[in-house]
Structure 1
Amino acid sequence: MKEIPPQMNYHHFLAFSIFLLAVSSCTNSKTKNSSKITSTNNEVHQTAPPRVNSEQFKKHWYDGKAEITSYNLLQERYGEIRQGTAVTIFVTEDFLPKEHVKATNFSEKNTSVLKLNQMKNFNTGIYPYAIMTSTFNPVSSKAHAIKVSNSVQEWCGQVYMQLNNRSEFEVKSHSYFEGDADQIFNVPKTWLENELWNLIRISPEELPTGDVSVIPSFEYLRLYHKEVKQYNAFASIKQGDSITTYTLNYKDLQRQLIVYFNSVFPYEIEKWEEVNSANQNDTLNLKTTAVKIKRMRRAYWNENKNKHSFLQDSLGLK
């Protein structure tokens, strides 16, 4: 059975069916329904206030392509700065509102989401790190992200954490660290730092400002072994003629995030900065930075042959 590519939603299904046989796309494993899942808990985003998407938004984000951006990464880890690369991939796709996975088949009940896959790769001495975070925001409602997942792999082991937006935020965490281990728990709903990246691309005027409660990025929570909960932060936005900055300051965590994005649609993210104190005695305040190398729009799921390897060079990733 052919799969609907990630950028498709119901607005494009009829046109897509014409060339379906000629297009191959990313594949997903089938997910069984959980007996614990209820319609009320899994369709909470559908009861949130609606968001009206402009024709400009639809023309851009449903053009059959994903936005891929590579970045030069200077990543703080273990009190030193490491050179590496980061990649962000923004793309729309159909999402199952109950199972919280990509839809394999067309249905009017599917939810259109903007997905961000964010990847980082860098070395710490002899061994490498690979970090990936996926965030799924509903496009047509002002609900919180439907799902966030994060994995960190390095030679010591790997960790994985996933949040599902149901009646509460349901979190599953798996780790090789004794203090984290295997956990399943709920946390009250509040802003998610991870969802703000997608919100910049969808509707930056909806970004929270002032004193806010935020669950920090999953990458930060795992790397620094912090409790998964809401933390007090102060958020601010400063709009310039060409670049707008969005800043989150967590006083208690001694953490700051600044995202720099274009002031006009489609609000592409040009760079970001993070400052984290590893512990209470850390006065170095080393800065993690990611600065754009190259951006392109491509149907990358069709470019998985050896002949497409040159595109890695085009992104500056080799």
Structure 2
Amino acid sequence: MKAFVTKHFLLLVIVAAIVFALAMKATIFQQATVHDVPMTEPSASFRQYWLSGKAELNRYSLEQAQYGALNAGDAMLIFATEDFRTDLHVKAETPESRDKAVPVLKTNLVKRFTTGIYDYSLFTSVFTPINNPTFPNTLKVSTSEQDWLGHSYLQIDYGNNGYQIDGRSYLEKEVHDAYSVPKVMLEDELWNRIRLDPGKLPTGSIKLIPGTMTARLRHKRLDPLDATAKLDDYEGVLFPGRNLKAYRLEYPTDERNLMIVFEYVFPYKIVGWTETYTSNDNLLTSRAVLRTTIQSDYWNHNAPADSVLRDTLMH
């Protein structure tokens, strides 16, 4: 034994040092923890608006393309901040999980419309870290679709420098999707990026993972696509607001365009959007136009008496 130790002394010292360093969480083998890189402190206006314990609720009148026609409905865009676990990709709800979480801006996009006799309901949630250098990428997107034929679910999770996509559906050809795509920006996160800092929106020739809600309606796979992005002044009359900018996306290989219109003053309110693509051989443009905005801690207002708040929102 003594001869073995003497012969391999240097190797044993190195191994012991690595084991000690791992135990002390102090080596290059350790993954970065949530708090390894300090965040840039949010501005006072950001803290006052987004960290006040209230969400921003926006209601839009909607015309949604489906089955070769435009269908009337409503859309909601709900923005709120919360602590989000980077390991499980769920909201942190206990004190013990706070050290595993980062602050995120969450988008909930809801669309409800009627096609003929039956209804459609779609819901997308997007979780984007707020200016965290350790976690710069959107961590998760989930989308569900319900109609009288059945329902489906789609989830995108960030990990291993890419995105894992998993889906379930009542349709035979989409019964179980499971595949990975490279790390590129998500179309679904653009709503959050506008609210965080529209000056950092990508422009020119880019790659994007298309929006999950439209992908489900069109039964499309979520492969990254080439796109052209442009940010310029909005000069139309359809959308209300002040100092309006339009962020425009064109997908040449998918024959689809998206335009998001927003106020170019903080808090960069989104006043509407249009989306153009072919549905049942008809080239149609879906539209959503802002009608009402309120701020509310809506999760605390779930009693029958709180319906007056809904009346205000839906007016």
TM-score by length of 2: 0.82
How far is the alpha carbon of 1:184 from its aligned partner? 1.8
Which of 59, 62, 67 is the matching residue for 1:73? 62
Contact 1:250 1:256 (C-alpha < 8 Å) held by counterparts: yes
5+ residue gaps in structure 2?
1-29, 235-241
Contact 1:44 1:166 (C-alpha < 8 Å) held by counterparts: no
Which of 16, 19, 43 is the matching residue for 1:54? 43
Runs of at least 4 residues off by over 4 Å: 43-52
| 3-state SS in 2 of match to 1:233 | strand
1:195 paired to 2:189: yes
| 3-state SS in 1 of match to 2:109 | strand
| 3-state SS in 1 of match to 2:191 | helix
Cα offsets for 1:159-196 (capped at 9, x unmatched): 10001111120111101112211122211110100011
| 3-state SS in 2 of match to 1:311 | helix
Code of the aligned partner of 1:209: T
5+ residue gaps in structure 1?
1-38
**Partner Cα separation in structure 2 for residue 70 and residue 161 of structure 1:** 24
Contact 2:167 2:177 (C-alpha < 8 Å) held by counterparts: yes
Larger helix proportion of the pair: 2
How far is the alpha carbon of 1:302 from its aligned partner? 0.4
**Partner Cα separation in structure 2 for residue 287 and residue 216 of structure 1:** 17
Aligned to 2:140: 147
Code of the aligned partner of 2:156: L
Larger strand proportion of the pair: 2
Give the fraction of aligned pairs with identical amino acids, expressed as a percent. Answer: 38
**Partner Cα separation in structure 1 for residue 34 and residue 83 of structure 2:** 14
1:270 paired to 2:271: yes
Code of the aligned partner of 2:245: T
Aligned to 1:218: 212
Contact 2:85 2:102 (C-alpha < 8 Å) held by counterparts: yes
Code of the aligned partner of 1:149: S
Aligned to 2:261: 260
Code of the aligned partner of 1:175: S
How far is the alpha carbon of 1:312 from its aligned partner? 2.0
Aligned to 1:86: 75
1:97 paired to 2:86: yes
Which of 221, 225, 237 is the matching residue for 1:227? 221
**Partner Cα separation in structure 1 for residue 131 and residue 94 of structure 2:** 20
Aligned to 2:7: none
Aligned to 1:7: none
Aligned to 2:106: 115
Code of the aligned partner of 1:300: Y
**Partner Cα separation in structure 2 for residue 193 and residue 277 of structure 1:** 19
Aligned to 1:244: 245
Which of 287, 291, 311 is the matching residue for 1:289? 287
Aligned to 1:29: none
Code of the aligned partner of 1:169: Y
- Provide closer, same or farther for how the CA distance between residues 308 and 110 of structure 1 changes in structure 2, counting only shifts above 3 A: same
**Partner Cα separation in structure 2 for residue 272 and residue 124 of structure 1:** 21
| 3-state SS in 2 of match to 1:208 | coil
How far is the alpha carbon of 1:97 from its aligned partner? 1.1
Over the aligned positions, Cα root-mean-square deviation in angstroms equals 2.0
